[in-house]
Homo-oligomer: A and B are copies of this chain.
Amino acid sequence: MTDTGPGATGQKKKFLKDVYLFSGVPDADLETLAHLAVSKAFPRQATIFQEGREAQGFYLLSRGSVKLVKSSPDGKEYIIRLVGPGETFAEAAVFSDASYPATAMALEDCQTLFFPKAQFLRHLAASPTLARNMLATLSRLMLHLTRQLEDLSLKEVSARLAHYLLERCQESHGTIEKGQAFELPTTKTHLAAYLGTIGETLSRTLSRMKSQGVIEVEKGRITITDPAVLRKIASGEKW
C-alpha cells in the first residue's frame, strides 16, 4: 500500500463530483471532503483490509477492482461483492463501531481514496444531503445482499448463473435481447466464488447452457442467444 499523501485536492474534488455518494453535495462540502480523503494505492493481490480488524474508515475506488470476501478456515471463499471504479466499499463499517466484516483484496492495481472514520462522521453530521446519500447507498447494498441470500438459499447454481448473466447483460446494454454480448468482469474462478460455487461446477453449467443453445462462450465473452430460456432457468424452471 502506498500513501500518496494529501496531494492534489482539486483533482480529488473533481473525482468526487461524479460519485453517487456525493451527488448534490454543496461545493464547499466537497472541498472539505476532498481534503480529508487520503489517497492510497494498492498493487494487484494486496490485502486492503482484513476481516476482524478494527475499521478505521471506508474506501472509494477510483481505479482498479476489488473483491470483498468471506473465507473459511479450509480455504474456500465466498465473494460478497465485486467493486468497480466509482464505487465505495466498507461504508457500513464506519457506523457500527465494529471491525471490518469481510476481507478486501485488490484484483488489479488499485487507486483509492480513504475516508477516515472520525473525520467523516464529524462532517456527516453537518451535511443532510450526504447522510441521505449514504442511507440510499446502504439501502441498495442491503437489497443486493438480500437478493444473494435468496439465490443462495432457494435456487440452484444454474439459476444463479442465469440470473447473473441477465443482470450483466442488462448492465452492459440497456436491454436483454438475442445476440447481445458482454465480457465477464473477472476470471471464471472468481465468478464461481461470487455465485457460491466452484470453478468446476461453473464450467460444467456453462457448457451445458452452450450445448443447449442458450448462450455462446468464447474466452471471457458471453453471447446470449436465447433470452427466454435463460429467464426460465433463472426463475428455477427445468430445462
**Chain A residues at the B interface, C-beta cutoff of 8 Å:** 70-74, 76-78, 80, 92-96, 98, 101-102, 121, 124-126, 128, 131-132, 134-136, 138-143, 145-150, 152-155, 196, 235-236
**Chain B residues whose C-beta falls within 8 Å of the C-beta of A128 in the assembled complex:** 124-126, 128, 131
A113 to B181, CA, bound (A): 48
**Chain B residues whose C-beta falls within 8 Å of the C-beta of A71 in the assembled complex:** 154
A135 to B95, CA, bound (A): 6
Tell me whether B72 and A146 are in contact (CB under 8 A).
no
**Chain B residues whose C-beta falls within 8 Å of the C-beta of A150 in the assembled complex:** 70, 78
A93 to B143, CA, bound (A): 9
A87 to B58, CA, bound (A): 27
Extra 8 A-B pairs, beta carbons < 8 Å, given A70-B150, A73-B236 = A98-B143, A101-B146, A124-B128, A125-B132, A131-B131, A131-B132, A138-B139, A152-B152
Q: Which of B74, B134, B155 contacts A135 (CB 8 A)?
A: B134
A70 to B121, CA, bound (A): 34
A149 to B69, CA, bound (A): 11
**Chain B residues whose C-beta falls within 8 Å of the C-beta of A92 in the assembled complex:** 138-139, 142-143
**Chain B residues whose C-beta falls within 8 Å of the C-beta of A126 in the assembled complex:** 128
A214 to B150, CA, bound (A): 31
A111 to B149, CA, bound (A): 28
Instruction: Give the number of times this chain occurs in the complex, counting copies.
Output: 2
Secondary structure at the A interface, as helix, strand, loop or mixed, is helix
A101 to B148, CA, bound (A): 12
- Known A146-B145, A148-B149, A149-B152; judge A139-B96 contact (CB<8 A): yes
Identify 5 residue pairs between A and B in the complex whose beta-carbon atoms are under 8 Å apart, listed by A's number.
A70-B150, A101-B142, A135-B138, A142-B142, A149-B149
A71 to B152, CA, bound (A): 12
Question: What are the 5 closest A-B residue pairs judged by CB atoms, nearest first?
Answer: A78-B153, A95-B139, A92-B139, A96-B139, A145-B145
**Chain B residues whose C-beta falls within 8 Å of the C-beta of A138 in the assembled complex:** 92, 95, 135, 138-139, 142
Q: Which of B93, B124, B235, B236 contacts A132 (CB 8 A)?
A: B124
A124 to B131, CA, bound (A): 10
